[in-house]
Amino acid sequence: MTDSRQSRGKIEISFAVNGEPKTVRAYPMERLLDVLRQQLQLTGTKEGCGEGECGSCSVLMDGILVNSCLVPILQAEGSRVVTIEGLAAGETLHVLQEAFLECGGAQCGICTPGMILAAFHLLNEKPEPTIAEIKEGLSGNLCRCTGYSQILEAVAEAARRRTAA
Amino acid sequence: MMSSDRIVGKSVPRKEGRDKVTGRSQYVDDMVLPNMLFGATVRSQIPRGRIRKITFGAGIAWDEFVIVSAKDIPGKNCIALIGDDQPCLASEFVNHPEEPILLLAHPERHLLPKAVEAISIEYEPLPAIFTIEESERQAEIIWGEDNVFKTYLIEKGNVDDVWEKAEYIVEGEYSTGAQEQLYIENNGMIAAFDATQGITVWGSLQCPYYIHKALMALCALPAEKVRVVQMETGGAFGGKEEYPSMIAAHAALLAMKSGKPVKIIYDRMEDMTATTKRHPSRTHLRTAVSQDGKILGGEIDFTIDGGAYVTLSPVVLSRGAIHAGGPYYWPNVRIRAKAVATNAPPHGAFRGFGAPQSLFAMERHMDRIAREVGLSPVEIRRRNFLQPGQTTTTEQVVREPINLEKLLDRALELSAYHAKKERFAKENQLGLNRKGMGIAAFLHGAGFTGSGERYLSSVVGVEGCADGSVRVLVSSTEFGQGTKTVLSQIAAEALGLPYENVSMAQPDTLDVPNSGPTVASRTVMVVGKLVQSAALGIRQTLISSHLLPENYSAEEFRTACQQYVAERGQFRSWSRYEAPADIFWDDQKYRGEAYAAFAWAVYIAEVTVDLTTYSVSVDDFVALQEVGKVLHPLLAKGQVIGGIAQGIGFSLYEKVVWQNGRMQNGQMTNYIMPTSSDLPPIRVFFEELGNVYGAYGAKGIGELPMDGPAPAIVNAVADALGVPFDSVPLLPEDIMDGLTAESQERNFASAGGVR
């Protein structure tokens, strides 16, 4: 297969990922999910269903929580994307990551990145959410392992620590 | 030694937790090899027939594709497991929809779906069967001589004599539907082949050595030329017990033919429609009951739909049959169990493994007996609970000091059962909501059934490493339950070392021994015990080599271990399973010690039924269980809550819609599992009696919580509405139908009708 054939129809997209400027060549309708995972090697973003139902591929785009499996890369032009890789500061975990670890919020781990980003988004909108608001805020992210309780506790705990800090 | 500062019993950090919360964990789809191709599967579109012709359509550059058919299989065309009836690729006949026929590979992942679509297969259709009843009628024989994969007969006492002594004869029939495991990470495998090293596969899987066995037979390769490596696995629940052997086989065939690494990742629909689900079941119970509500004896007919091939059905059937009598004393019983064939994709392992099906029937039936005898659901259970010294249906003596009445009392108290029953009796007279309480009492055997553990003969290793740390070598896999964490705790405890000084080897058949499959709630109890004894072997060796005193510090251990390795090389201690002398099982008569230990539980559900929408909400859920010593409270609680959430899905939401043997709702948009908004507070409590056979007194825990929710919830719905429901999933339309039928019957009766 020749290079020209491979790149025919591809366009150049520039956007910021976890604060770093990135430029990629991709088909306009390629999924943001695939560009993140395959071109940028940010494999923390997971695919669970490919149709926006499970939330495993959740990332933040200009501060809004999106399912990256439903976002054509075309739409990412000029945007600021945050993935799970952008949350910890070096080896220092984000307070949500710490709380997930301590409260048992991660079991198999496959929904965890999306779940943590959904929680991150929730805490940005509502720094002191009630349990009902946490349930609502995470209801777009499916987890088959935990039955959610320990995830809800983790988010509540992270909120407490953030407001205490 | 650090015996005063125990590690077991503490909620230490999950071993691989940091990688999981940072997104660094490597799942199979995160792995990329140079020159890797992507694979896809061409599957049967009909339930049963003969393949006449395969046409490769126009518009596809077929010469760019690697194409594999059954002819390319170097060894035996089967997925070796229990039977050898399931082909890896169908060559002449297909026996279920989605059966694999051809494999394709190409460097560009996105070109594969179009290529799969461009292949048309002409069939000569054969008549197919889709239900247990159709299979039993034998109008079509689709498997063997009678469509029956396996039967068991469990007999105790003399059932034929009990009927005339009975004050009540209570009969009921119960059924459960298929359920999709719905791990959030779809199935996937990567295979690479090279003539000298043989085949290597990396994948999302539960049982490395199942795949190892299947690939040896399929590829005609010796053991040392097959290597299986487990990647981080995003949920399994039994769904990655046997089917990964199929996907590994497919990836291996494409890799052998192309000479390049091949990755196969299923999308959600392929995963849901083509891979295994929980066996649908039908249970018929007929019980003889005394005037005071005691079960005198009875017959239980337990039948499961195995799908088109044997796979694990005999084992699922066995566990279901042994659990069918529940936690009750049966002086006389006859259990007939049968797994039948239908033209659906084979049903397989799913958490609970037959027990959730038969226990649903038993616990619904207890409420039916209560109603007919005129006792409360509490009292009927109290009068029939197994007591220490009595025997189970397989005549296993209950040796544990379990007190089920006490367990029940505590659950009643925790759920405020009596007060709520009283309150609901008043409140249910008014308004458009009906509230109810439901109980499920049950047990779950830990480890392989009967002689299973003896046949497995598992081996584990513990290694003292050159840097003085300790590494546990097992093929037992982590897929969310906490295998790595708890086995590390056990090794650390046995060696008196900090938890941080112990690491887990990646399950890789080149590096780890066969510690058996990660199934059957056996890991902590059986494998854990072996880890404990292998760890003690390391300690003993260092002490007897005079490198370490009897009482040592972690630093002294490190130095001694380093010195041992420096002087003598690799330092590994092995431990092999030996069946306890007092465990006896008769495979012929299906009698004896079915399990080394049972976990026991009483769950209580509180529900509201909305009479406008017929929807059910679970408002409170109390889960009380005796699981031996809890080695990691946070993980144990997480297992129980997660299992109950799956059980609530099984009860109220998750319905597989079948058409001609194919799942029609193979998407997360139309197969509905619970979200965070759907679940009640799930309140988890433990009793800890200990267990002489398990590591530090542990029993199994993983599957138990799947058994209780369906009967507790359906009993609660029946309590709320005063109408029996005997099937799960119980959807609003089923409740509407049930209420309509009931009111018609009532009107008919009040009009003086006879029939």
Same domain, A19 and A67: yes
Residue in B600, B612, B696 with CA at minimum distance from that of residue B3: B696
Judge whether residue B3 has pLDDT over 90.
no
C-alpha A75/C-alpha A14 separation (Å) is 10
C-alpha B19/C-alpha A110 separation (Å) is 11
CB contact at 8 A, B692 and B685: no
Judge whether residue B467 has pLDDT over 50.
yes
Q: What is the pLDDT of residue B440?
A: 99
3 state SS of B410? helix
For B292, other C-beta atoms within 10 Å of its C-beta total: 10
Give how far Cα B261 sits from Cα of B46, B382, B500, Å: 31, 60, 36
Which value, in Å, is the radius of gyration of the alpha carbons in chain A?
17
Contact B185/A48, CB-based, under 8 Å?
yes
Same domain, A79 and A110: no
Same domain, A82 and A25: yes
Same domain, A150 and A124: yes
**In chain A, % of residues over pLDDT 90:** 93
Same domain, A71 and A105: no
Contact A139/B675, CB-based, under 8 Å?
yes
Alpha helix segments (H runs only) across B582-685: 633-652
Alpha helix segments (H runs only) across A43-103: 95-103
> Does residue B160 belong to any structural domain of this protein?
no
Give the pLDDT band (50/70/90) at residue B753.
low
Question: To the nearest whole angstrom, how far is the Cα of A145 from the nearest Cα of chain B?
Answer: 5
Give the CATH number for residue A117: 1.10.150.120
Instruction: Return the structure tokens found at B145.
Output: 């001589």
Could you report the predicted ipTM of this complex, rounded to two decimals? 0.97
Same domain, B49 and B119: yes
Q: Domain ends where: A86, A114, A129? A: A86
| Dihedral sign, Cα of residue A124, residue A130, residue A136, residue A142 | positive
C-alpha B94/C-alpha B49 separation (Å) is 5
A104 touches chain B (CB under 8 A): yes
Task: Tell me which chain A residue has its CA closest to the CA of residue B23.
Answer: A44
> Does residue B4 belong to any structural domain of this protein?
no
Give how far Cα B420 sits from Cα of B428, B435, B596, B606, B743, Å: 11, 9, 38, 9, 26
Q: Domain ends where: A61, A86, A111? A: A86
Question: To the nearest whole angstrom, how far is the Cα of A1 from the nearest Cα of chain B?
Answer: 9
> Does residue B158 belong to any structural domain of this protein?
no
- Name the residue with tokens 């929710």: B709
3 state SS of B722? coil
Same domain, B207 and B336: no
- Average pLDDT, stretch B714-741? 97
Same domain, A44 and A77: yes
Q: What is the mean pLDDT of chain B?
A: 96
Q: Domain ends where: B532, B554, B576? A: B576
Give the CATH number for residue B483: 3.30.365.10
User: From the candidates B20, B181, B204, B654, which should be mutated to test the interface with A, based on the most A CB atoms within 10 A?
Assistant: B20
pLDDT in tens, B174-218: 999 999 999 999 999 999 999 999 999 999 999 999 999 999 999
Q: Domain ends where: B239, B256, B274? A: B274
C-alpha B248/C-alpha B28 separation (Å) is 12
DSSP state of B594: -
pLDDT in tens, B211-260: 999 999 999 999 999 999 999 999 999 999 999 999 999 999 999 999 99
Contact B184/A97, CB-based, under 8 Å?
no
3 state SS of B316? helix
Same domain, B424 and B558: no
Same domain, B638 and B739: yes
User: From the candidates A68, A84, A108, which should be mutated to test the interface with B, based on the most B CB atoms within 10 A?
Assistant: A108
C-alpha A35/C-alpha A42 separation (Å) is 9
In chain A, which residues have their Cβ closer than 8 Å to the Cβ of B235? 107-108, 110, 144-145
User: Domain limits at B642?
Assistant: 281-449+590-744
3-state DSSP of B429-456: CCCCEEEEEEEEEEEEEECCCCCHHHHH
CB within 8 A of B741, min separation 6: which ones?
Answer: none
C-alpha B489/C-alpha A27 separation (Å) is 49
Give the pLDDT band (50/70/90) at residue B747.
confident
User: From the candidates A30, A70, A98, A110, which should be mutated to test the interface with B, based on the most B CB atoms within 10 A?
Assistant: A110
pLDDT in tens, A135-154: 999 999 999 999 999 999 99
pLDDT in tens, B119-178: 999 999 999 999 999 999 999 999 999 999 999 999 999 999 999 999 999 999 999 999
Contact B676/A46, CB-based, under 8 Å?
no
> Does residue A1 belong to any structural domain of this protein?
no
Q: What is the pLDDT of residue A27?
A: 95
C-alpha A24/C-alpha B246 separation (Å) is 37
In chain A, which residues have their Cβ closer than 8 Å to the Cβ of B668? 48-49, 51, 53-54, 142
Judge whether residue A5 has pLDDT over 90.
no
Same domain, A81 and A103: no
Task: List the A11-17 sheet strands across, edge first.
Answer: A20-26, A11-17, A80-82, A58-61, A64-67
Same domain, B92 and B225: yes
The residue with greater pLDDT, B698 or B4, is: B698
CB within 8 A of B419, min separation 6: which ones?
Answer: none
| Dihedral sign, Cα of residue B540, residue B545, residue B548, residue B549 | positive
For B617, other C-beta atoms within 10 Å of its C-beta total: 15
Contact A146/B107, CB-based, under 8 Å?
no
> Does residue A120 belong to any structural domain of this protein?
yes
Residue in B728, B619, B625 with CA at minimum distance from that of residue B682: B619
Q: How many domains does chain A have?
A: 2
CB contact at 8 A, B135 and B316: no
Same domain, B342 and B432: yes
Same domain, A110 and A77: no
Same domain, B343 and B207: no
**In chain B, % of residues over pLDDT 90:** 95
pLDDT in tens, A71-81: 999 999 999 99
Judge whether residue A3 has pLDDT over 50.
no
pLDDT in tens, B523-565: 999 999 999 999 999 999 999 999 999 999 999 999 999 999 9
Q: How open is the CA angle B503-B507-B510, to the nearest 5 degrees? A: 110
Residue in B687, B689, B706 with CA at minimum distance from that of residue B639: B706
- Name the residue with tokens 């542990």: B698
Confidence (pTM): 0.97
Judge whether residue B70 has pLDDT over 90.
yes
> Does residue A31 belong to any structural domain of this protein?
yes
> Does residue A3 belong to any structural domain of this protein?
no
Question: To the nearest whole angstrom, how far is the Cα of B330 from the nearest Cα of chain A?
Answer: 35
Same domain, B205 and B79: yes
Q: How many domains does chain B have?
A: 3
> Does residue A4 belong to any structural domain of this protein?
no
pLDDT in tens, B393-432: 999 999 999 999 999 999 999 999 999 999 999 999 999 9
> Does residue A118 belong to any structural domain of this protein?
yes
Q: What is the pLDDT of residue B527?
A: 97
CB contact at 8 A, B222 and B216: yes
Alpha helix segments (H runs only) across B324-470: 355-373, 377-384, 404-414, 417-427, 452-456
pLDDT in tens, B474-505: 999 999 999 999 999 999 999 999 999 999 99
> Does residue B753 belong to any structural domain of this protein?
no
User: Domain limits at A31?
Assistant: 9-86
Q: Domain ends where: B542, B576, B610? A: B576
Same domain, A156 and A104: yes
> Does residue A145 belong to any structural domain of this protein?
yes
**In chain B, % of residues over pLDDT 70:** 99
Question: To the nearest whole angstrom, how far is the Cα of A109 from the nearest Cα of chain B?
Answer: 5
